[in-house]
Structure 1
Amino acid sequence: MIAMWNDMIQANVVTILFLLILIVNIWRGMKRGGTGSMQHLFFTIIDVALTVLSIFVAYQISQAFSPIVLDWLKKLDLQVPVKELAWWENIYYTAVISLRDLALLRFAALFLLLYLVIRSVAGGLVGALFYLWSNDEGRARSLSNADGSQSSAARFGSGLLGALLGGITGAVRILLLVVLLFGFVTLNPGSPVSRHIQQSNAYQLAAGQAVEPFAGDWVTANLPVFTAEVKNQLTALMQQRYDVIDIQLPKDIEKAALEVTKDAATQEEKARKLYDWVGSRVSYDWNKANQYIEQRIWKEQTPQDTFETKKGVCIDYARLYALMARAVGLEVRVVTGLGYDGKGGYGPHAWNTVLVEDKGWISLDATWASTGDWFNSPNFESTHIPDQQAASGT
């Protein structure tokens, strides 16, 4: 108690929040009385139990059905039509292809859908039972005490019991909050917010006595890995989006790509000629970049816009290059991540990888072509960090 008081004096937000939750629940318990607080505590515990049970059941079913859904999606043999897609078509094709190709996203979608259904059904059944029970109890109460009067001593005793039960309800809610905070601290161990959380003596006591003995090792070992994988697959989803929205091949871009590579004898020569052309024809749009950096205003543009204006930022270079590469039969990807800024740090960047015979996937950065040769450069990996690699910390 002395330690918690010291936390209060030092204005530790976590301890103050815990105390407020406890006070509010005690006060509401006193208002409800013993019977009402008992009911509320009972259904709070039921609600937590239903949530945990729903998560467990949804997890098990999702694991079993994810491979079945994958087989079904593969049988669809979905092909993105080569035409200008409406906004809803972009969303549809991106979603279906991503569910097919990204295992974790498919599992997460199944899990969320199943959890919502199971939790809603379970909650509805419990709610119906509570309604029937409360009506029966109300009728019994009205028969046993027609005037509804209570002595002062009975009201006082009921209030004390309600306060005690309200305190227990508050403790349950605080414990749930501690679990969430424990997960946040595990994922962000060095952040200022995590340090402030860990300075709370109340948090340390609850986490050390209730969370760590039961789930601490599992959480610290698995949660960061799971979160990193989520980031990886979300990144893959965003990059796959460009494969869908840039599926249409304008005739002028196709004609230019064929003209640029007409003398190329190999896939690598085609990739190189396109790198030289995009890198030398497109100028970096500093106004667009500065507008985003200073005002957070993003001007979206298509590869056609980049081709016509000959201006763009890194993602525009990469999308135009990808479209021209596909026009000449190359397999290519748009990669997002971090690029070295020349000042000892890294900033958001985009580039391409292309598949060529004998060498496999090689990386190139048409945006940086004016600063040197960044076509399969030997120091490419030291200056470019893909989002997947950045998320995993390697």
Structure 2
Amino acid sequence: MIRGASSSARYFALMLSEGIATVLGILLSWQLSSWASPHVQVWLLAQQIAIPTRELAFYEQFYYTFITAVRDFPLLRLGILFMIAYAVIKQIIYRVMDPFVSRWMASKPTQPAKKTERSQSPGILSSLVGAIMGTLTGLGRALMVIAALFIFTTLLPQTQISPYIQASTLYQKGATQVIKPVAGDFLANQLPVFTRAVEEEFSSILQRKYEVLDAQIPADIADAAKEVVAKATTDEEKAKLLYKWIGTRVKYDWDKVNLYEQQRIWKEQAPAETFQTKKGVCIDYSRLYAVMARSIGLDVKVVTGLGYDGRGGYGPHAWNEVYLPEYQKWVPLDSTWVASGGNWFNPPNFDETHIREV
């Protein structure tokens, strides 16, 4: 009401122009990035980028992790291309719209410079029109916040804050009466699928990090792996022999655990050190298994997440997955738990004690 009709109209026009620019930017960026993504992948594949089998500096590790992830993971590639396209296209849209918005804004100062003008109040009709304009502007902003919260609670319903958001009366009215009738079913059906796809791809990117770190396979490790699987005739037999060998040869390093828990000092070690010292924690078991398995031609992953601690809870853990062509699927195994007894090579209850990182 204080701003009056003309000033409130300018605020409303600015919000409307921002909304138009955003929607156009998203639509055009989505089309452009969807078109460009396969072409970028083809170009990257043509470069024949291979992770060097030598010790890599930190910047080299980052480069090969990033460039191979962009090449191999479609959601990551699409996301990066979309952000680049959106940043460029929205600036172009702003430049096209700027003359019209600037001319509108320049028609009358939003905040009068003179004290005498600032003290003048708009008329009753102008105040009423300004109030209506201001209400529409505020309502639009409020709906954008509720829409963002709706997407958040749909994507991450398990978070602690989601029930508090959903319990809000204002949120319930906005979400159920406005957002959900317009796009709620689409979001509710598609976002969880998209979330799972992102989780799986992010997990693969984490695995790629260890593939880059451990691309170099020392000769003594490769020789040991060949000796371990010498009598095996199938990939499953090779994978099991390595699982048992690492699980019975490597001892769990409780000193390393205590150093981290008590002093927050993490001792990073390469598979070569684990192989030489025969000591390590779960991630060290898993990285050594991956290196030995790759040296004999097996396709293997390092998986991180949570493992059952035997006391009713879960703690940070790492294990492996190996691809068996005879079954045409990835099977899980946990060489760290061999010493604790039981079968941890693709048992039926593996998912009950191991939760993948998401």
When normalised by structure 1's length, the TM-score is 0.78
Query: Residue in 2 aligned with 1:376?
Result: 345
Give the match for residue 124 of structure 1. 95
Q: Contact conserved, 1:366 with 1:374, CA < 8 A, in 2?
A: no
**Residue deviations 1:218-263, cap 9 Å, x none?**
1111111111211111111111111112101223333433444455
- Whether contact under 8 Å (2:54, 2:216) holds in the other structure is yes
Q: Structure 1: where are the runs of 5+ without partners?
A: 1-28
| SS of equivalent to 2:87 | helix
Gaps of 5+ in 2: none
Give 1:341 shift. Answer: 2.8
Partners of 2:298 and 2:322 within 8 A in 1: yes
- Where does residue 183 of structure 2 map in the other structure? 215
More helix by share: 1
Deviations 1:12-53 (A, max 9, x none): xxxxxxxxxxxxxxxxx73x5433322121011110121122
Aligned length: 354
Report the alpha carbon displacement of residue 358 of structure 1 after superposing the two structures with TM: 3.6
Aligned equivalents of 2:318, 2:219: Cα separation in 1: 25
Does residue 7 of structure 2 align to residue 39 of structure 1? no
2:161 counterpart (187, 193, 198): 193
Whole-Å separation in 2 of the counterparts to 1:180 and 1:291: 42
Question: Shift of the alpha carbon at 1:302?
Answer: 1.8
Q: Which amino acid aligns with 1:235?
A: S
Distance in 1 between residues matched to 2:140 and 2:61, nearest whole Å: 45
Identify which range, 316-325 or 72-81, moves more after superposition: 72-81
Summarize the Cα distance change of 1:294–1:195 in structure 2 as closer, same or farther, 3 Å threshold: farther
Q: Secondary structure at the match of 1:350?
A: strand
Counterpart residue type for residue 305 of structure 1: E
Q: Which residues of 2 match residues 258-297 of structure 1 at below 5 A?
A: 258-262=226-230, 264=232, 266-290=234-258
Q: Percent identity?
A: 43
Of 341, 363, 386, the residue aligned with 2:309 is: 341
1:105/1:359 CA distance change after superposition, 3 Å: same
In 2, distance between residues paired with 1:87 and 1:359? 37
CA contact (8 A) 2:146 2:171 kept: yes
Task: Give the stretch that moved more between structures: 61-70 or 350-359.
Answer: 350-359
* Structure ranking higher on relative contact order (CA contacts 8 Å, 6+ apart): 1
1:301 alignment partner in structure 2: 269
| Partner Cα distance (2:322, 2:40) in 1 | 30
Select the residue among 41, 44, 50 that pairs with 1:70: 41
Is residue 363 from structure 1 mapped to residue 332 from structure 2 by the alignment? yes
Distance verdict in 2 for CA 1:128–1:284, change over 3 Å:
farther
Corresponding residue of 1:225: 193
In the other structure, the counterpart of 1:239 is 207
Among 65, 77, 85, the residue aligned to 1:106: 77
Change (3 A) 1:132 1:381: same
Identify if the C-alpha distance between structure 1 residues 117 and 374 changes in structure 2 by more than 3 Å, giving closer, same or farther.
Answer: farther
Deviates more, 1:115-124 or 1:239-248: 115-124
Per-residue deviation at 1:109? Answer: 1.7
TM-score (norm 2): 0.85
Considering only aligned residues, what root-mean-square deviation do their CA atoms show, in Å? Answer: 3.2
CA contact (8 A) 2:10 2:104 kept: no
- State the one-letter code of the partner of 1:319: R
* Shift in alpha-carbon separation, 1:153–1:326, aligned structure 2, 3 A: closer
**Structure 2 counterpart of 1:203:** 171
Aligned with 1:183 (options 148, 151, 168)? 151
* CA distance 1:58–1:274, change in 2 (3 Å): same
Tell me how far apart the structure 1 counterparts of residues 121 and 235 of structure 2 sit (CA, whole Å): 91
With over 3 angstroms needed to count, the CA separation of the structure-2 counterparts of 1:299 and 1:159, relative to structure 1, is farther
Match for 2:300 among 332, 339, 342? Answer: 332
Match of 2:146, as an amino acid?
V
